[in-house]
């Protein structure tokens, strides 16, 4: 069974600094998708970034980038120039590319990011 592990329950960063959130996963599949979702106190889960496992290039979205290490099954999120609005719970999630007809997401337990002014 696929699993996702986030070993940092809480992280803190100073405004304008850079922070890296860690995620590891376990799967026997060779093709899959990885995601980082953000859940602010308002609770609405928002997609931050997505990585397709067959792509070598790390995904980037503005201040957010990932370090995808397929052999190590590691998928970390780097947030540059942190802003107060980045404070939230961050979830790493995995989805098989060909999971039957179901594109279900398997989530980690989350990392709570605090941004200090």
Partner 1 sequence: ETGVTQSPTHLIKTRGQQVTLRCSSQSGHNTVSWYQQALGQGPQFIFQYYREEENGRGNFPPRFSGLQFPNYSSELNVNALELDDSALYLCASSRRAGRQETQYFGPGTRLLVL
Work out the burial of residue 36: count CB atoms within 10 Å of its CB; fewer than 13 is exposed, 13-18 middle, 19 or more buried: buried
13 binds partner 1 (CB under 8 A): no
Nearer to partner 1, 14 or 109 (CB): 109
| Subset of 27-86 contacting partner 1 (CB under 8 A) | 33, 37, 42-47, 50, 52
Q: How far is the CB of 78 from partner 1 (least distance, A)?
A: 21
Among residues 11 and 106, whose Cβ is nearest to partner 1?
106
Locate 43 and state its tokens.
Answer: 């609770």
- Summary count for the chain: helices (H), strands (E): 0, 12
Stretch that binds partner 1, among 17-25, 68-76, 78-86, 100-108 (CB under 8 A): 100-108
What distances in angstroms separate CA 64 from CA 11, 21, 110, one per listed residue? 16, 11, 17
Which residue matches tokens 């609770």? 43
Q: How many residues bind partner 1 (CB under 8 A)?
A: 27
Radius of gyration of the chain (CA): 14
Interaction of residue 94 with partner 1, rule CB under 8 A: no
Give the three-state DSSP class for 42: coil
Would you tell me which residues interact with partner 1 (CB under 8 A)?
Answer: 4, 33, 37, 42-47, 50, 52, 91, 93, 95, 97, 99-110
């Amino acid at each position: 069974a696929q699993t996702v592990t986030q070993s940092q329950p809480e992280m803190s960063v100073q405004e304008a600094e850079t922070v890296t959130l860690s995620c590891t996963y376990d799967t026997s599949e060779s093709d899959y998708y990885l995601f980082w979702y953000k859940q602010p106190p308002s609770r609405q889960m928002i997609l931050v970034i997505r990585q397709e496992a067959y792509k070598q290039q790390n995904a980037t979205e503005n201040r957010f980038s990932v370090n995808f290490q397929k052999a190590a099954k590691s998928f970390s999120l780097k947030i540059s120039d942190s802003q107060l609005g980045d404070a939230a719970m961050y979830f790493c999630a995995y989805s098989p590319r060909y999971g039957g007809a179901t594109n279900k997401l398997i989530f980690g337990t989350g990392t709570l990011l605090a941004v200090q002014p």
